Amino acid sequence: MTDSQEPAIEEIKEKMKTVKHKILVLSGKGGVGKSTFSAHLAHGLAEDENTQIALLDIDICGPSIPKIMGLEGEQVHQSGSGWSPVYVEDNLGVMSVGFLLSSPDDAVIWRGPKKNGMIKQFLRDVDWGEVDYLIVDTPPGTSDEHLSVVQYLATARIDGAVLITTPQEVSLQDVRKEINFCRKVKLPIIGVVENMSGFICPKCKKESQIFPPTTGGAELMCQDLEVPLLGRVPLDPLIGKNCDKGQSFFTDAPDSPATLAYRSIIQRIQEFCDLRQSKEENLINS
Ligand SMILES: Nc1ncnc2c1ncn2[C@@H]1O[C@H](COP(=O)(O)OP(=O)(O)OP(=O)(O)O)[C@@H](O)[C@H]1O
Ligand code: SF4
């Protein structure tokens, strides 16, 4: 950490005092459904209107959250207390570099320090207000952006990371690296989600493995590496369709196997955060 970063870390710590829980969503590979998961985690948590949600997209070079959340073309506004998030609902605010581009097809070609500067600004200058959950959608892999967000939030306590994978070995291989990264930087692992995990036929309800796991899939990997498997979300063509339309999949398919899987995973994440909070409170009071 350089000296010039120190004041920013203090400012971020101060800003994050109004944010109760912070969750990073990571994946080893691109295209495995990380942004889709982040968006649906936000939608699912925001169903409780007493819960305030912030969704921050730090995939600087490939921001897909504006499209998935139906916010393409929206702009960020500056207020006296910083950048205002773009609101999907009263209790769900979003921030992304996508809001700063003049067109969704604009390419962001930035080197590491500029990307880190943007992440710092997002964490320090966005006026989130009182927030229960801050969900951070990260780029694939373990790059500068991941190190930056972990360093910037180090003093502000991150609850943990959710790792998204598909069942294939090429994706699992990269998730193992991601798990090592989390352990090296002492980032707690909330658990792994196996996405695009089988397809349940809507007619006969039979499950088919579209991407058959050759090495036991996420379940075996989680057992080997002693990390929790939070659940398996099946492939559902409606998910892709709704993401392209910028709508929550939960509204259109409230009883589908994928919705039920998402909901059970979201509940486990909430339980993890609640437990962590109560452990901390006990520690403070003891
Ligand atoms: N369970 C699923 N069933 C069907 N389609 C899905 C599912 N999960 C995600 N998708 C679709 O897969 C595509 C990739 O998803 P997404 O953009 O969330 O991946 P990503 O991991 O965030 O990629 P990147 O990090 O490269 O931006 C999208 O079109 C999305 O709608
Ligand atoms: S199992 Fe296959 S063939 Fe049978 S109804 Fe489902 S999709 Fe059609």
Counting every residue written for the chain, the total comes to: 286
Say what the pLDDT of residue 3 is.
46
CA of 261 to the centre of ligand 2 (A): 21
Q: What is the ipTM of this complex?
A: 0.94
- How far is the centre of ligand 2, averaged over its atoms, from the C-alpha of 217 (Å)? 24
Q: Domain range spanning residue 55?
A: 3-285
Asked if the model's pLDDT at residue 1 lies above 70, the reply is: no
The per-residue pLDDT for range 18-68, each reduced to its tens digit, is: 999 999 999 988 899 999 999 999 999 999 999 999 999 998 888 899 999
Specify the CATH number for the domain of residue 275: 3.40.50.300
Q: Is the CB of 217 under 6 A from ligand 1?
A: no
State if residue 236 touches ligand 1 by the CB under 6 angstroms criterion: yes
Rg of the chain taking only CA atoms, in angstroms: 18
Q: Is the CB of 32 under 6 A from ligand 1?
A: yes
Which ligand is nearest the CA of 233, by number? 1
Does ligand 2 lie within 6 Å of residue 17's CB atom? no
Cα–ligand 1 centroid distance for 279 (angstroms): 34
In this model, does residue 154 exceed pLDDT 70? Answer: yes
Q: Is the pLDDT of residue 9 over 50?
A: yes
Mean pLDDT of 227-245: 95
Is the Cβ atom of 206 under 6 angstroms away from ligand 2?
Answer: yes
Please give the pLDDT value at position 107: 65
State the Cα angle at 69 between 63 and 73, rounded to 5°. Answer: 70
- Report whether residue 107 contacts ligand 2, using a CB cutoff of 6 Å: no
- pTM exceeding the 0.90 threshold for the entire prediction: yes
> Measured between alpha carbons, how far is residue 75 from residues 19, 83, 104, 129 in Å?
23, 10, 12, 19
Q: What is the mean pLDDT of residues 248-260?
A: 94
* pLDDT tens digits, one per residue of 103-149: 666 666 666 677 888 888 899 999 999 999 999 999 998 888 888 88
Question: What burial class does residue 73 get, using C-beta atoms within 10 Å of its C-beta: 0-12 exposed, 13-18 middle, 19+ buried?
Answer: exposed
Lowest mean pLDDT of 89-93, 211-215, 243-247, 265-269, name the range. Answer: 211-215
Q: Percent of the chain, pLDDT > 70?
A: 94
% the chain with pLDDT above 90: 64
Which residue did the predictor score with more confidence, 189 or 152?
189
Quote the ligand 2 centre to 204 CA distance (angstroms). 6
pLDDT at 5: 52
| pLDDT tens per residue across span 163-182 | 999 998 889 999 999 999 99
Alpha-carbon torsion, ordered 175, 177, 183, 186, to 10 deg:
-90
Computed over every residue of the chain, the mean pLDDT equals 90
Contact 246, 88 (CB under 8 A): no
Q: Could you say which ligand is closest to the alpha carbon of residue 69?
A: 1
Q: Note the pLDDT of residue 6.
A: 62
pLDDT of residue 109: 63
Tell me how many domains the chain contains: 1
